[in-house]
Structure 1
């Protein structure tokens, strides 16, 4: 890690600690936590949560090769937790919060700048193409997740940017990945074929839309797909999620790797 990047890393760590340290906590994998989505598995010896296990059984290698959520959100608390407020208000169609948007954008920027090499190593290569998970109602550049994608630090790499096109199936409420939720134009399909695609999203709940995007990209010939998102949604309505939320007390630390465990091991 160069001296300038090391200096940025410490500054980013301090800034994010002051802004989101009291509401976000780092995701992690390990006993009792899913190797795919970092959610709870319920049993320490089980490596995948129920939803990721079912998705893998159905779709296999068509799914994303790596999912990288940065922080846990404490969802459906009463009163509403600040972490839920941040991920909801940044994209509110009525009154979006610029402050919330800028915080989430900086989280993505800092994570990709500090841990980009770690993510690329875990995925098997640097990403060559980037896209977002589109919305059913806010298409293309109008969706706030575009602002997240614009803040991904590319480490000097030439990254192609493409858009997925939603189909009518994006309105499905079953929260299960579908091969037909998105489509690609022939021109875009040619640009992803044989390449590593990074998919940017804001919140990972069931993975239905992120993994549907992966299925579309893999069908089009993408060699690898990595999903990078700000938040892994946990719900106080579900006992196993509640137990995981209560076990994670440390404030968000931008130097903790979102893949693997512990601090970033890049030389300083």
Structure 2
């Protein structure tokens, strides 16, 4: 069990963990309070103020349509965090069910999930699979989340399968089975709580990948439909003005980089905090 003292020592021993938490808290605040923090309407056009450089009136400048880049960057945090949380939650739900059944029952169930379904999805790179799904379903927030979840559940399923196969033969599981517990109760009440630690770490790192994947698809025009503000679509809009107005690309690119780094830093800290061998070697 992880105590608050262990958490405090981990944060003190890993400055990057504190930085990751601070960055994530900053992006969450930006996403939640975007309507109050944004100095302008993110979709308001001002053709007389096109491609303005950063200044007092527009701290991050304006884009080719005169829209305020700071406001669009703040609203872009909403989309990125929504996609990250939704994709990981849906991928994790599919992976827990599929991997749990495969690892618990084995046999034909394991062969179908692990040998056929997982290998079929792993045969193509995840981003290409997501591009194919979005191109087929059409752009939009829901379709984007669904496409990324469909292409990302395999990693969680294989992790859950391996963990379930390790835990299902332990004494407390055999004791629950001897007392007449159903398979669903054994999986939900006895096995799943004991495999949460690696899932939490994988989910934190998976959110970083989801943010990057959303930006990639939006950059390709397959993400959130215009005129919604998205960091990837902002990068796509600014690439034609890269040399004369580099601020169009700089600010959304920095936002993507910092958001991805925050999840990676937190994932590394959680791995060190939740791994007993790491805690013992570090004296935590």
TM-score when normalising by structure 2: 0.25
Higher helix share: 2
Identify the structure with bigger relative contact order (alpha carbons < 8 Å, sequence gap 6+): 1
TM-score when normalising by structure 1: 0.26
